[in-house]
A and B are shown apart, each in its own frame.
Chain A
């Protein structure tokens, strides 16, 4: 990933944008953090938040005119937070928690005329940076207009404490100065920079310049002179004194460092924020007022008021995505990790599993207010990992072998309709439907041949999307090309896909082909007549993630369900917001536990029985123990009484078996062709207990792998034996994985007790 792209992506995700209150606060006080502390009764934590940002928390916290309050998101669902009243509660009930550090003294002497809050703030900020700061005032005390607010609002003792605070940072205050233009001119000779506090009403008598400071830097025409504070168009604002004092201090610091006074200062002071916070499901709440307004909030009342804070953030995508939740990231932090991962030259690439765990389903992009392209980032990263040979081999190997099986001689086939020599249509059920429900493939095919004319061919195979998901561009391109060539050689029939992944894959990567979804065709040609069990219980539809952008297909499915008399109750995360079942992006292969969580999450969106129309969704939801059927189960009901909602997940071995059997059976029954004899190892009869099957499924071990272990062991006679149990233990490494099987020889075949595997290569056998 180029750094430029990283920056663009980082800017796309707005999760780290300032909350509305903080953006509106000229000091950018972390109001959200403040509220979080108060809400849990952590008064000192709340005080620490104020101490960190406010120059004089005891003053500002008491009397701030709270511009943040108007910006508070809560005002859209109830009253805005009573920020100033809570701050007042906090500073009156706690002492300062944090004393901010001071840098070592440096050159640069600054003088401040006038001793209002702007001067106080600027002097404190500069003294903390190690600059020498001297306040000159004609008065006897500091504070300027602050002194006239009344003991109620601001006790004078607080100002005395501020004098002490300034002193502790080395700020020099000279009271009772006799000031005239001459004195000022003379004084300026001894200082490198000057700040004029406009709270000092006499200032205009000395400096005409001071009326027109630069709004960004507060610099006036004369070099080294800055001004701020005082009464503005809307009267005297406390926070404005602090803001301008701080802004001037930053300008003076820049001036002393001889750098630009204005560059890059747009986000200083109150600023805009791009944050998005969803409030659609938030209950409106009114402000909690203190029972005794004169005394202010009690700790308990403050906690209740602060608890109304929405803790504004975005995380819209994270709220829905099992992947983002599992890695505790949001896209902005995630792309940074991806970038760093790719920059690793020597050392461990710790983000590989994360990169391979995204289901590439695109839900987040649709939810995101700025369409963050998470799937695109992950898939292109995978592609570059494959290219520079840093892709972990184990992540996708199993899935790619599964794809190779579907495309291989045992499972793949392409024929014109029996008795025809050309095809106007071609039914393409896809590898997963063939693997999950081979009988439904056959019934659907026969139905199509009865209602569509001019030949309906049949093609069994795999669209190749696993190659794309795994970042194998070359393999994917080759698979696609082979498919397109076959289609062309067969006269460009209209391809009818039963699987939505195949549909969108062909649509995106072979746009020249004619494709339609089986559901649209069924809607047109109708369903087979015949008796069906009445379907009264309400069901919910689980759209596959592939049809997120295919509203017509989703509509056809619902029409068909309607024709079948089904009682469909929609759940909110269907349609374009639908979840992935864990198969997408090969998530479940690169990260088994996460795949299970994704399936579980999808299933739990509704407590009703589920209707799926993607075979993989159906199988994964069934694997997670939910009642789920495929729409074809109801279109072409079986003879028996078997409830399609209870059809188990066939598992990886079962799918292989089903695909191979489907091909052999169709060839025999429809085309009168006999297929080759099964491979030698397929004749090894295994007896596998369900719990061992479950282990094999999780460990990605196929029955076939064990058949090969046993064939190898029994032919070579090389195995271990346990004299107590009579069990045997043997291994075999067909390609890159060593499979182990613990088994027992029975009359009828082999009873399997355990199966596991590793990739580490063991030494060759000893030659005697």
Chain B
């Protein structure tokens, strides 16, 4: 299965690790379904960035779809 990618350069930096975010594959889940997606993540502590447009766009659509399954 191909991994969906939502990576794009960002000016957000991880504050505690004082480092840049980097593309990384992570597992997100909802209603018992697990997806592997590529997101911007802090490589040392794993803080995952979900930008506003992703949360309200694609991610919201997938949530709604899973709720209607």
Contact = CB atoms under 8 A, between A and B. Distances in A.
B16 A348 contact: no
A718 B45 CA distance: 9
A456 to B, nearest CB: 45
A276 interface: no
Interface in A378-411: 392-395
Interface of B: 11-16, 21, 26-31, 44-50, 52, 55-56, 59-60, 62-65, 67-69
Given A718-B45, A720-B49, A763-B28, A352 B67 contact: yes
B60 A758 contact: yes
A350 B68 contact: yes
Interface string A323-343: 000000000000000000000
Contacts of B11: 722-724
A474 to B, nearest CB: 21
B26 A740 contact: no
B65 A756 contact: no
Nearest to A729: B12
A450 interface: no
Interface of A: 347-350, 352, 392-395, 699, 717-724, 728-729, 731, 738, 740, 754, 756-766, 768
Given A718-B16, A722-B11, A756 B67 contact: no
A318 B67 CA distance: 28
State the majority secondary structure of interface residues on B.
mixed
B30 A720 contact: no
Contacts of B12: 720-722, 729
A192 to B, nearest CB: 55
State the majority secondary structure of interface residues on A.
loop
Contacts of A718: 15-16, 45, 47
B13 A760 contact: no
Contacts of B16: 717-718
Given A720-B12, A724-B11, A740-B50, A756 B56 contact: yes
A720 B15 contact: yes
Contact of B30 (A699, A719, A761, A763): A761
A658 B63 CA distance: 32
Contacts of B45: 718, 765-766, 768
B29 to A, nearest CB: 5
Nearest to A391: B67
A643 B32 CA distance: 52
* Centre residue among A738, A756, A768 by max chain B CB count within 10 A: A756
Contacts of B63: 394, 758-760
A720 B47 contact: yes
Contacts of A723: 11, 13
* Centre residue among A724, A757, A763 by max chain B CB count within 10 A: A763
Given A761-B28, A763-B48, 13 more contacts: A347-B69, A350-B68, A393-B31, A720-B13, A720-B49, A722-B11, A738-B50, A740-B52, A758-B60, A760-B63, A762-B26, A763-B28, A765-B47
Contacts of A721: 12-15
A768 B14 CA distance: 15
A765 B12 CA distance: 17
A349 B21 CA distance: 38
